[in-house]
Structure 1
């Protein structure tokens, strides 16, 4: 046994419905995935939407359920565990409540937990282990085999999710690799997952056309990642070849009814009858500005926008 990883063998996980509870293992798996993707870059872990959404994904892959995930439970109780060099997880409480923290009860929601702390310190030695790709794989296998082996859990779905997440992490850290021919299905799945993650985060989960942004209480996103130049033609999964769009507008763009132009405005096909009330949701976009990514690094490629305009229905 890798000695620094031995702390993962002794988690106090409790029981749920006669089986080992998946909460702490799923949180640690989520943290490993986020470290591997480059989203978590220091031992100080932000309790942000991306980490919480990852936890929901893993909980659902494990149990087949999503709405009962309750991320506040492991985010709170993981502080009782020991890591290889000290506390495995140390919440960084707000100064105003730091002295009262030991007497505080378990928060009842993720919102209540974030009022107490929005960052926690992961054992620095464990953080360095999780940064290494092979040891991250070893840690994931250890957690799944030790705590998620019950026949009621979907081990096949867990490993499928982790394989995709860890494969896509290399692309998330190096998006320049997201272009060129795809050799196998596993590579395509990893690239697609990285494309989706990078595009949605770049647009802060907001539709580039309607400006709608909605995240459900169990962290599902309203928007989808849409290719500007279809992958079949471009072999390009870089975020600059993508937009975040609601499903209906993704469909409309793919069917060339609307197009973002190099002028960074939306254009509507003249084939859309503006005098039909049911078409209002399309033609109201005409001339509207695109919602652009938070970082200029991910702004849509001008040649890809030109391709879209050239293919707008006339």
Structure 2
């Protein structure tokens, strides 16, 4: 074991029902997963929706109580732990509170914490170690065994989640590997997880048709990742073969009632009667521009859009 990883077994954690509280361990697992996806690319960790959603996902897998995750607690208290070269976690305080940091009490909500800081530095020696896949695997195993193994069933579920998360991270770093026929079910699932993550992030969790964007307080997203050319036909999980859509519009596209075209506009099937009031949520989309990712490399492939338009119900 690397010396740097030993510090992960020395966290100052509280007690929950007679066992180590899961907050700090779950936060560190979330950070490790995001390092392995390439989303956290330096030891400066941004407290964005993606990291917070990952933390809530892990907390839910372990406890079944997503609404009790209280992300501000580990984000605040992790600053008291030591790392291999100094503090394990060093918040980058907003200018207005920087001089008062030592006097501030525990924040009472995530919003209150985010008013104090929106990024923090992970110990650089630890970050360097966690960039290596083998070390990341070992770090996750250490944290899980040390703090999160009291419930055997939840522990096994956690290990399964982490195995998939780390495997999908490899695909997120190399999205070109997301196309091609595969047989192993675990690889298919890891690819599917990577597809969802890459697509939703590319669209900033906003529907490519309705423009609706909503993230719940416990970091669930309204939108889903939808394939343009179905995976069964294309074996293509690259983000250029996907859109972020609300569930109802995902259903409508999969049933060929609406389609995005190469002209980057939405098209309506002529089978949808615009004179029927109940169809308004569909016919109002006709001709509207497609919401596109800012990153050109994540924008939908022209051939995938053409496939959708060709398969519009006539």
- TM-score, structure 2 length as denominator? 0.98
- Residue 308 of structure 1 and its aligned partner are, at CA, apart by 0.6
Size of the aligned set, in residue pairs, is: 314
Question: What's the counterpart of residue 143 of structure 1?
Answer: 143
Q: What SS class does the counterpart of residue 45 from structure 1 fall into?
A: strand
- Conserved 8 A contact 1:259-1:308: yes
Question: What's the counterpart of residue 101 of structure 1?
Answer: 101
- Residue 153 of structure 1 and its aligned partner are, at CA, apart by 6.6
Question: After superposition, what is the alpha-carbon deviation per residue over 1:116-174, rounded to whole angstroms, capped at 9, x for unaligned?
Answer: 01110100000011100000000000000000011277112111111111000011001
Runs of 4+ in 1 over 2 A off after TM superposition: none
- Conserved 8 A contact 1:63-1:153: no
Question: What's the counterpart of residue 233 of structure 1?
Answer: 233
Q: What SS class does the counterpart of residue 106 from structure 2 fall into?
A: coil
Q: Distance in 2 between matches of 1:189 and 1:147?
A: 27
- Residue 96 of structure 1 and its aligned partner are, at CA, apart by 2.6
Within 5 Å, give how 1:85-234 maps onto structure 2: 85-151=85-151, 154-234=154-234
Q: Distance in 2 between matches of 1:180 and 1:301?
A: 16
Question: What's the counterpart of residue 62 of structure 1?
Answer: 62
Q: Distance in 2 between matches of 1:93 and 1:243?
A: 36
Q: Distance in 1 between matches of 2:95 and 2:293?
A: 34
Q: What SS class does the counterpart of residue 118 from structure 1 fall into?
A: strand
Provide the alpha-carbon RMSD of the alignment.
0.9
Q: Distance in 2 between matches of 1:62 and 1:155?
A: 7
- Residue 2 of structure 1 and its aligned partner are, at CA, apart by 2.9
Q: Distance in 2 between matches of 1:300 and 1:111?
A: 34
Question: What's the counterpart of residue 246 of structure 2?
Answer: 246
1:275 matches 2:271? no
Q: Distance in 2 between matches of 1:99 and 1:309?
A: 58
What 5-or-longer segments of structure 2 have no aligned partner?
none
1:299 matches 2:299? yes
Q: Distance in 2 between matches of 1:95 and 1:204?
A: 28
1:45 matches 2:45? yes
Q: Distance in 2 between matches of 1:153 and 1:31?
A: 23
- Conserved 8 A contact 1:94-1:116: yes
Q: What SS class does the counterpart of residue 95 from structure 1 fall into?
A: coil
Q: Distance in 1 between matches of 2:95 and 2:282?
A: 50
- TM-score, structure 1 length as denominator? 0.98
- Residue 76 of structure 1 and its aligned partner are, at CA, apart by 0.2
Q: Distance in 2 between matches of 1:38 and 1:2?
A: 21
Q: Distance in 1 between matches of 2:44 and 2:197?
A: 22
Question: What's the counterpart of residue 12 of structure 1?
Answer: 12
Q: What SS class does the counterpart of residue 65 from structure 2 fall into?
A: coil
Question: After superposition, what is the alpha-carbon deviation per residue over 1:267-291, rounded to whole angstroms, capped at 9, x for unaligned?
Answer: 0100011111111111111101101
Question: After superposition, what is the alpha-carbon deviation per residue over 1:243-282, rounded to whole angstroms, capped at 9, x for unaligned?
Answer: 0000000000001010001111000100011111111111
Q: Distance in 2 between matches of 1:308 and 1:44?
A: 41
